[in-house]
Amino acid sequence: MELNKAIENIQETGFLEINIPKNIDLVAEIIKLKKEKNAVILAHYYQEPAIQDIADFVGDSLQLSYKAAEVDSDLIVFAGVHFMAETAKILNPQKKVVLPDLNAGCSLAESCEAKDLQALKDKHPDHLVITYVNTSAEVKAISDLCCTSSNAKKIVDSIPLDQPIIFAPDRNLGAWIQKETGREMLLWDGACVVHEAFSIDKLLNTHQANPNAKIIAHPESEDHILKTAEYIGSTAGLINYAKTNPAKEFIVATEAGILHEMQKEVPNKKLIPAPAVEDNSCACSECPYMKLNNMQKLYLCMKYELPEIQVPQDIQEKALIPIQRMLDISSKK
Ligand code: 13P
Ligand code: SF4
């Protein structure tokens, strides 16, 4: 497709549908564009290895939010999913934030529309609303506080015990936080398609075959998976555990993209991806949204600075409040 047509169609396609010459060295071109445009590439651990390797910073959702809040580059290239890029834009309304493919959504964000959350709030006006960052800017704009999987316990613990809470949208993370804090919360019924796909039977078989391996899991996983885990934490938490724990083998229950950075950190340890119910090509779980980004789309979005993330000013201002509260509480010792 030619450039003008591709730009015209971007709202439909979600990305720039342009053919790239086969002989182009994408790594060299992306590095050149980074310098020319004073751009920073922020990537999540679930991105494909080539993207993680070329990024200026790779992290979990919380680390990426902190990083987005402090960058001084003119262009933020977000290699992750839409809600993450949107959070970067909310924190940097004056900067240009681009995402390789606007279709890179999230099943959790999709499960919770602002109008439905507003309806629940109206039914429970005395409740405080904590939303996981895996939500749209509109949902954040009607939330009191945000959280990520790495600070959810701290955020909930910061609320007075007599204050009722609505926790949205991840029912698995919410149920785990209820156990961790001993607090009852009103849980939204959303879930992550990737973490709900782990098979408990296959996981137990894998453990039987690798009895010395420690199971580690992301809290978006279901309770029966979490019950088997020696450690539960965010993507960054899981990498840190594999690094600092003396065990030599781990079964890792989260999106398989994490294995790239984890293996770099523990080159001599054996990492086994937790198996999913439906066997796919790698018998592990990949996020279909995260994997919409690739090196070609990354190159095009840097070259043409499209597609760009836009957040209406009134939503941006309201959504910033719960995000900033989260960052402030989270950074307290
Ligand atoms: P982390 O905050 O642990 O990186 O999780 C983000 C996410 O989308 C997990 O599925
Ligand atoms: Fe959303 Fe799950 Fe993908 Fe994370 S892994 S972006 S929670 S769908």
Q: Which residues have C-beta atoms less than 6 Å from ligand 2?
A: 81, 106-108, 134, 192-194, 220, 255, 287, 289-290
The finding on whether 134 has its CB within 6 A of some atom of ligand 1 is yes
Determine the distance from the C-alpha atom of residue 46 to the mean position of all C-alpha atoms in its chain, rounded to a whole number. Answer: 8
Task: Kindly report the number of other CB atoms within 10 A of residue 53's CB atom.
Answer: 14
Give the atom of ligand 1 at the shortest distance from the alpha carbon of 254.
Answer: 10
The alpha carbon of 40 and the centre of ligand 2 are apart by a number of angstroms equal to: 23
Give the 3-state secondary structure of residue 76: strand
The alpha carbon of 169 and the centre of ligand 1 are apart by a number of angstroms equal to: 13
Distance, CA of 310 to CA of 136 (rounded, Å): 12
What is the per-residue pLDDT for 284? 58
The alpha carbon of 324 and the centre of ligand 1 are apart by a number of angstroms equal to: 19
The alpha carbon of 36 and the centre of ligand 1 are apart by a number of angstroms equal to: 31
- The ligand whose atoms approach the alpha carbon of 65 most closely is 1
Give the atom of ligand 1 at the shortest distance from the alpha carbon of 287.
Answer: 10
pLDDT tens for residues 58-73?
Answer: 999 999 999 998 999 9
Backbone angles phi, psi at 260, to 5 degrees: -60, -55
Question: 200-273: same fold as 108-191+315-331?
Answer: yes
What is the per-residue pLDDT for 1? 61
- The ligand whose atoms approach the alpha carbon of 104 most closely is 2
Question: E-assigned strands of the chain?
Answer: 39-44, 57-59, 75-79, 96-98, 128-132, 145-147, 165-168, 186-187, 214-217, 231-232, 249-253, 270-273
Atom 8 (ligand 1) nearest CA? 134
Query: What's at 76, amino acid-wise?
Result: I
The finding on whether 149 has its CB within 6 A of some atom of ligand 1 is yes
- What are the sequence ranges of the domains in the chain? 2-104+290-311, 108-191+315-331, 200-273
The finding on whether 192 has its CB within 6 A of some atom of ligand 1 is yes
- Give the residue ranges of the chain where pLDDT is below 70: 1, 278-284
Cα–Cα distances in angstroms (integers) from residue 290 to residues 79, 128, 133, 315, in the given order: 8, 31, 16, 25
What is the per-residue pLDDT for 333? 78
The finding on whether 135 has its CB within 6 A of some atom of ligand 1 is no
Structure tokens at 64: 């990426």
Which DSSP state fits 274?
A: P
Whether the CB-CB separation of 102 and 300 falls below 8 Å is answered with no
Distance, CA of 169 to CA of 273 (rounded, Å): 26
Say which CATH topology domain 200-273 has.
Rossmann fold (3.40.50)
Distance, CA of 42 to CA of 77 (rounded, Å): 6
Backbone angles phi, psi at 130, to 5 degrees: -110, 125
What is the per-residue pLDDT for 74? 86
The alpha carbon of 86 and the centre of ligand 1 are apart by a number of angstroms equal to: 15
Which of 106, 99, 92 shows the shortest CA–CA distance to 135? 106
Q: What is the CATH number of domain 2-104+290-311?
A: 3.40.50.10800
pTM: 0.96
Distance, CA of 333 to CA of 325 (rounded, Å): 15
Which helix (H) or strand (E) segment is 324 a member of? helix 313-331
CATH superfamily of domain region 108-191+315-331: NadA-like (3.40.50.10800)
Task: Kindly report the number of other CB atoms within 10 A of residue 224's CB atom.
Answer: 11
Which of 120, 123, 141, 134 shows the shortest CA–CA distance to 290? 134
Cα–Cα distances in angstroms (integers) from residue 285 to residues 70, 192, 227, 264, in the given order: 32, 11, 19, 20
The number of C-alpha atoms within 13 Å of 77 and in the hemisphere containing its C-beta is: 30
Whether the CB-CB separation of 304 and 16 falls below 8 Å is answered with yes
The alpha carbon of 131 and the centre of ligand 1 are apart by a number of angstroms equal to: 14
